[in-house]
Amino acid sequence: MRLTTLAAELGDKPAIVMGGSGATLSYRELEERSNRIAHVFREIGLRTGDHIALLFDNTLEVFPTVWAAQRAGLRYTPVNWHLAQSEARYIVANCGARLLISAPTLAGRPRNSLPTCPGYGG
């Protein structure tokens, strides 16, 4: 079933509940956030079949990003945030990611990985 349909039917019911904190994301919020992010992906030039890498800790923000990638037809590789920077850089470079997206809580880590992403124009 499509997320848009689920959001219309289930609205403010929780789609995701984080085990430790109890933080939630409703179907409507997941739909709205993932749609916004998918539009950003297209605006920055990502196209169907492009690859992105995701560096997130255990946070709700990963879910709209994954759904957005799926909506935009992107392939994605999760990168374990516990890895050493050299290991994370290797994974990002090896998967062919055009973009690395990270959680705000990991803001210092991706800067060292971005230059290894083919196609990154930053």
What does the pLDDT profile of the chain (122 residues) look like in tens digits? 587 888 888 889 999 999 988 999 999 999 999 999 999 999 999 999 999 999 988 888 899 999 999 999 999 999 998 888 888 889 998 999 999 988 877 766 544 444 344 443 33
List the domain boundaries for the chain. 3-116
Cα–Cα dist 114/108, whole Å: 11
For 3-116, CATH number? Answer: 3.40.50.980
Quickly list DSSP for 20-77.
Answer: TT--EEEHHHHHHHHHHHHHHHHHTT--TT-EEEEEE-S-TTHHHHHHHHHHTT-EEE
Cα–Cα dist 110/101, whole Å: 8
